Amino acid sequence: MNGILSLPPLSRRAIKVWHRNLTVFIRTWHVNFFPPLVEALLYLFAIGMGIGSYIPEVEGQPYVTFIAPAILTIAVMNSAFFECTYGSYVRMYYQKAFDAMIATPLSIEDVIAGELLWGATRSVIYVVIMMPVLAAFGVISLPLALFAIPLAFLGGLMFAGIAMCFTAVTPGIDTLNYPAFLFITPMTLFSGTFFPLTILPVVLQYLALALLPLTHLVAVMRMLTLAAVTPVVLLHLAWIVAVTVLCCIIAINLMKRRLIV
């Protein structure tokens, strides 16, 4: 059969799958609209201002300003990751939606690509809803921070791809808890989110940079929201693009292997 790294044939029909998910999302907008708002406020108050009041400054910034990009980035990660694990798994396994779709001119590659695009889109939506809140509290620097929106798409696509790889190999919905707890939760804490990577031992710093995709996304996001972009941003972006492309390709091939028998 096809190699796991072979380039999957894609068509514009992937957009149809994306469109289907968007339609459902819009119909249930009231349950989708408030979590980002509430989450942004919770983080700002509890961690930024609560814990932050004990912390004078981090890397020359008020603590709440330091964590603002982390709030955005974690939202990017979670919305794409959970959409393309639990969400996609439910559509694939319980709703048999993919089976129904591949009986039309859509191919399985189109279907999975559409799901990945949708995962990334959810990240964008989340960030777009959160940004005004953060801006209102003056913790992000506009207009440069607006680049967080395209970045959310890229980062979302990366986490969608990673998530879909897990979805493609998970034996059941319960086992999706493993990547959620063993990968996402630690990453949320150890990626330069709530404290700078530099306070970790050097070995761990390198490990974080090598293995935790969130570190790169947080780093870029922080440069944007603090309006302090340095050339290192290119290295981070290159890392993100490479991992995104790789994971999306692997995800599509693994899914095809799982579903086309």
Partner 1 sequence: MNKVPSLHGPVSPTKDIRPASIPDVIQAKNLYKTFGSMTAVDGIAFSVQKGEVFGFLGPNGAGKTTTMKMIACVSPKTSGSLVVLGMNPDMEPAAIKARIGVVPQETNLDPDFTCFGNLFTYARYFDIPDEAAAQKADELLEFVQLTEKRDVPVEKLSGGMKRRLILARALVNNPEILILDEPTIGLDPQARHLMWEKLRALRAQGNTIVLTTHYLDEAARLCDRLVIMDNGRILVEGAPADLVREHAGQEIVEVETSDDVVACLQDLKVPYEMAGDMILIATGSSRDIARVLLDRCKPEKVITRPATLEDVFLKLTGRKLRE
- Distance (Å, rounded) from C-alpha 84 to C-alpha 164? 6
- Distance (Å, rounded) from C-alpha 23 to C-alpha 190? 36
Give the 3-state secondary structure of residue 61.
strand
- The tokens describing 160, both together, are 């969608």
Q: Which stretch binds partner 1 (CB under 8 A): 53-61, 64-72, 89-97, 229-237?
A: 89-97
Binding residue count for partner 1, defined by CB under 8 A: 21
Mark residues 90-109: x for contact with partner 1 by CB under 8 A, - for none: -----xxx-xxxxxxxxx--
Binders of partner 1 in range 21-40 (CB under 8 A): 23-24
Interface with partner 1 (CB under 8 A), residue from 10, 16, 32, 205: 16
* Residue 67 Cα distances to 44, 118, 171, 193, angstroms: 9, 27, 36, 6
Q: 39 or 110: whose CB is closer to partner 1? A: 110
- Residue 6 binds partner 1, judged by CB under 8 A: no
CB 97 to partner 1: min, Å:
6
CB 88 to partner 1: min, Å:
13
- Distance (Å, rounded) from C-alpha 22 to C-alpha 70? 26
- The tokens describing 192, both together, are 């330069």
Contact 149, 124 (CB under 8 A): yes
Contact 213, 73 (CB under 8 A): no
- Residue 13 binds partner 1, judged by CB under 8 A: yes
- Residue 227 binds partner 1, judged by CB under 8 A: no
Q: 2 or 53: whose CB is closer to partner 1? A: 2
CB 107 to partner 1: min, Å:
7
- Distance (Å, rounded) from C-alpha 147 to C-alpha 137? 18
How many distinct helices (H) and strands (E) make up the chain?
A: 12, 0
CB 83 to partner 1: min, Å:
14
* Footprint on this chain of partner 1 (rule: CB under 8 A): 11, 13, 16, 19-20, 23-24, 95-97, 99-107, 260-261
